[in-house]
A = this chain, B = another copy of it.
Amino acid sequence: MQKFKVTFLPDNKTVLAEKDKTILSAAISAGVYINSVCGGDGVCGRCKVILKKGQVSQQLNGIITEEERKNNIYLACLTNIHSDLEVEIPESSRLIFDNPNSVGIGERLRDLYSKAEDIQPVEPKLKEGLFKHSPFATKIYLELPAPTLSDSISDLERIYRALRTYEDFPVIQTGLFNIRQLGELLRDSEWKVTLTLGKRNDTVEIVLVEPGNTTDKNFGFCFDIGTTTISGQLVDLNSKQVLGTKATYNQQATFGNDVITRIVYAGQSDGLEKLHEAVCNTMNQIIRELVQENKIDLNDVNCIVCSGNTTMIHLLLSVDPGHIRKEPYVPTANFLPVLRAAEAGININPRGLLSCVPGVSSYVGGDTTAGVLSSGIYQNDKLCILIDIGTNGEIVLGNKDFLVACAASAGPAFEGSGITSGMRASNGAIQKVSINKADFEVGYSTIGDKKPKGICGSGYIDLLSSMLEAGIIDKGGKIKTEGKRIRQTATGKEFIVCFKHESDSLSDIVITEADIENLKRSKAAIFSATAILVKHLGLSFSEIHKIFIAGGFGTYLDIERAIGIGLLPDLSRSKFAFIGNSALAGANQILLSNQAMAMANTLASKITYFELSVDPGYMDEYGQALFFPHTDLTKFPSVRF
């Protein structure tokens, strides 16, 4: 097959690509980010590129105008390579959000392929010792008696015999890999060995046999695989200590912003493979960085627990998620067997195990199960709600007797994606904002007290609430005043939160009317889903004892202001608790305790799924929530702007 060099500007990255492949596929191979919301269908028109040199052929579909054609603008997904090429990716095609005219954001989005960032997760307030410490992978050091003529059981049975003095494991399994090296290994190590035991589908597997005592080196990872953001945590399985937590954007974002686009993309030739590769790359990057920073040998990482929505878990395991979006919306599996991480393409110890937190249904996944687990709402006598704010928002209502969950497609706005100056809750993100009503001057604080780089979800909640309070925006979200921080652009007005010179950003940190619209839709989706779920169960908000708020908001979330914008219902503030990334926290518990793993299985079976879209009141409720705080102000009696 003939191959051509394709060079992408301004990154100046070159890749060899086969003749007739699309420019978009070459860019993905090169690790160069080109926006593509539709996943390469040629529909969204986001992947426009400028051809500087070379020959191509293109399928025309009306998205490229006559004028653009004259200017050598092509859709990367519909343009085939016919010679060596030089392709410039304009700023607009480097963005994954609505306003391509903003400046200085391209370089931030490149961090789809850049370093993962440290995050400080909020630990849910767990009862100490709720689950017994019995990690997914355990190491046991054995000093075996050397065989004699009178004690000549085989090497493998010698190990089993010693193991059973520790615990009466019903089924112990091991593979040929270990058996093949056992004879030499036991004798070379003078019968002193360390076994790594893994829990595998109600059996115990000897994952690894190592010479000598290596029990002090036993590490694991837990992950929350979100549609937009992937967070990973390195844990010392002996001390239970979290050694580091990092998050980065899911590289799958290249193939579309939400699960539906990803599922469609997975159905295309090579689509599943590319999505699988993207999630693996992202996870492997977090693993590599945390392992290097903590000076840990990758081979001492023995297991990994993944929570994620059902589509993400299917893609992680290269299982076609196609049926998730087709009625009656059935996934291939909610409960997945424990695998070797290597089978899924994840780089830890080659024998290391990977477990996925079981999910409930196509749209309520293991991340929700993990959230229910870590929030503890399943133990509560009284009614609780768990609201997990993410690209897929999930809401669970229940107590120790029952649990009902629904999902709301909220979009990635509160994760700082699809928003002009949005960023993840990491160092330099503005997370608190106040605005002086008199002169609209802005006070803010950032995560890590660094110079501001952008705004994270909790910052946007503060910002919107402050803008409402200061009268900068109206209840519909339109900027209604003037001032030195308010600027008119081609697509509407924007408010400057932080000027470029005060910031660590290449441009002013702003919020545009389009951003506000985006955030408003997100908060409306979450609020209306919660309200419909409560109504569906014949309850009212006043009967709710506690509301747990989860999501990637960093260390801080101002409940007062979240109510102020109508994201959360107007209840006594003491009823709310912000618990951070509850899916990651649940995965952490499962990583550290077999009892938590068993409880997750129980919970996933127990949680009932409620399909929001079949409720006749949902669209109405959503429409009413498209105001700050709400069309019906009687629902927010304590909010006064």
> Chain A interface secondary structure, helix, strand, loop or mixed?
loop
Chain A, residues 176-219, CB within 8 Å of chain B (1/0): the string is 10011011100100000000000001110000000000000000
Of B151, B176, B362, which is within 8 A of A343 by CB?
A: B176
Q: How far is the CB of A500 from chain B (nearest CB, A)?
A: 49
Q: How far is the CB of A329 from chain B (nearest CB, A)?
A: 6
Closest-by-CB residue of B relative to A334 is B154
Name the interface residues of A155-173: CB closer than 8 Å to any CB of B. Answer: 155-157, 170-171, 173
A322 CA / B187 CA spacing, docked (Å): 12
A202 CA / B334 CA spacing, docked (Å): 24
Of B148, B330, B609, B611, which is within 8 A of A328 by CB?
A: B148
Q: Which residues of B contact A614 (CB under 8 A)?
A: 149
Q: Say yes or no: is A335 at the interface (Cβ < 8 Å to chain B).
A: yes
CB pair B330 A152 closer than 8 Å:
yes
Q: Which residues of B contact A327 (CB under 8 A)?
A: 149
Q: Which residues of B contact A83 (CB under 8 A)?
A: none
Q: How far is the CB of A147 from chain B (nearest CB, A)?
A: 4
CB pair A332 B156 closer than 8 Å:
yes
Q: Which residues of B contact A174 (CB under 8 A)?
A: 337
Closest-by-CB residue of B relative to A343 is B176
CB pair B171 A202 closer than 8 Å:
yes
Q: How far is the CB of A315 from chain B (nearest CB, A)?
A: 12
CB pair B155 A333 closer than 8 Å:
yes
Q: Copies of this chain, how many?
A: 2
Kindly state the interface size class of chain A when it binds its partner: 35 or more
Of B153, B184, B333, which is within 8 A of A334 by CB?
A: B153
Of B154, B202, B333, which is within 8 A of A332 by CB?
A: B154
Of B180, B318, B329, B609, which is within 8 A of A180 by CB?
A: B318
Q: Say yes or no: is A317 at the interface (Cβ < 8 Å to chain B).
A: yes
CB pair B320 A362 closer than 8 Å:
no
Q: Say yes or no: is A331 at the interface (Cβ < 8 Å to chain B).
A: yes
CB pair B180 A320 closer than 8 Å:
yes
List 16 A–B pairs whose Cβ atoms lie within 8 Å, in order of A's numbering.
A149-B614, A151-B328, A152-B329, A152-B330, A153-B334, A154-B331, A154-B334, A155-B323, A156-B332, A156-B333, A157-B333, A157-B335, A176-B343, A180-B318, A183-B319, A183-B323
* Additional A-B contact list (6), CB under 8 Å, known A154-B331, A155-B330, A183-B332: A149-B614, A152-B362, A156-B332, A171-B171, A171-B202, A202-B203
Residues of A within 8 A of B (CB): 147-149, 151-157, 170-171, 173-176, 179-180, 182-184, 187, 201-203, 317-320, 322-323, 327-337, 339, 343-344, 361-362, 609, 611, 614
